[in-house]
Amino acid sequence: MLEANPNFHAGPAKIKRIVLRHVGEATAQRLLLEKGDADIARNLTADQIKAIAGNNELVVQTEPKTNIYYFAVNVKDSTLANLKVQQALRWLIDYQGMEKTFLEGQFNVHQAFWGSGSAGAYDETPFHLDVAKAKALLAEAGVANGFTLDIDVANTPPFPDIAQSVQSTFGQAGIKVNLVQADQRQVITKYRARKHQAVLLYWSPDYLDPHSTADYFARNPDNSDDAKTKTIAWRNSWDIPELTKETDAALLEKDSTKRMGDYVTLQRELQQSGPIMVMFQQNEQAVARSNVKGFILGPSFDTVVYWQTTK
């Protein structure tokens, strides 16, 4: 969040100094903002955004991000390596239900690895909660009575709420979910070591070209434990030589229209099969005091712009 600063002038003026303050609790951020002790808060929940709707002193800024949130399973586990099980899990997530409730306004259902609104995006969302279909697939996989699944999840919003929804809907098909909550860096450390069974995480691209994300999701040139390239496919032990070739070819394609089409094809293939299930794309919401102008959230994690902000 951006803390109120005495170096702001009363009239429109460039900022002399910005104070960025970490406030872990969204409730505390809201209180500081409403009191005028902070000028911008970037981590309010959807419920808190609704609660301030009638406050004329506060303005909500919403911008689509390229950040996507996904669920993944480690296919070193023989049950999770079964394609029927992977397919069943896709039908056991209540994407639309979450979007319409505790994620309202801050996330859209998105089921492909490259964010909507960018060149090469694939916006089809064929999956929804269908417990009967999922149960039939689990029966075909030989696990009609379900199984136990440990999901590693960060303890910061919105991950716990998403995890609890997944826990509930998976349970409807007999899958007993244990939520293993920890600091995000602990979750990521475990994930990078391939010691997880399942994980909830997000991805924000390093640069605004689809290859930044395709390279991470659809490429795994060496699936050995001591590999030098450790993509998300590698982290989930997913050996994909053919998809890796397709991804490498897309990078080198000189025809820009065909190249974007190649990335759409990759997204379609990953959407239908594999251990990585994309669920949402983020709409970042920041709340500012009404006299603050020019703050830009930007489309990715490192494109936030403060220098044009005035007060």
pLDDT digits (tens, 9 = 90+) for 177-199: 999 999 999 999 999 999 999 99
* Residue-range domains of the chain with CATH: 2-64+283-289 (3.40.190.10), 65-282 (3.10.105.10)
CA-based nearest residue to 250, from 242, 262, 233: 262
- Give the model's pLDDT for residue 2: 58
Q: What is the mean pLDDT of residues 242-271?
A: 97
Task: Tell me which amino acid residue 97 is.
Answer: G
- Give the model's pLDDT for residue 3: 58
- Give the model's pLDDT for residue 71: 98
Tokens for 79? 């049950």
What is the rounded distance in angstroms from the CA atom of residue 89 to the CA atom of residue 81? 12
Q: Which of these ranges, 65-79, 215-229, 283-297, has the smallest mean pLDDT?
A: 283-297
For the chain, percent of residues with pLDDT exceeding 70? 95
Report the Cα 22 to chain-centroid distance in Å.
21
Reported as a pLDDT band with limits 50, 70 and 90, residue 251 is: very high
Q: 241-252 and 210-217 helices cross at what angle (nearest 10)?
A: 170
Q: Are 106 and 286 in contact (CB under 8 A)?
A: no
Task: Tell me which amino acid residue 222 is.
Answer: D
Q: What is the mean pLDDT of residues 114-137?
A: 96
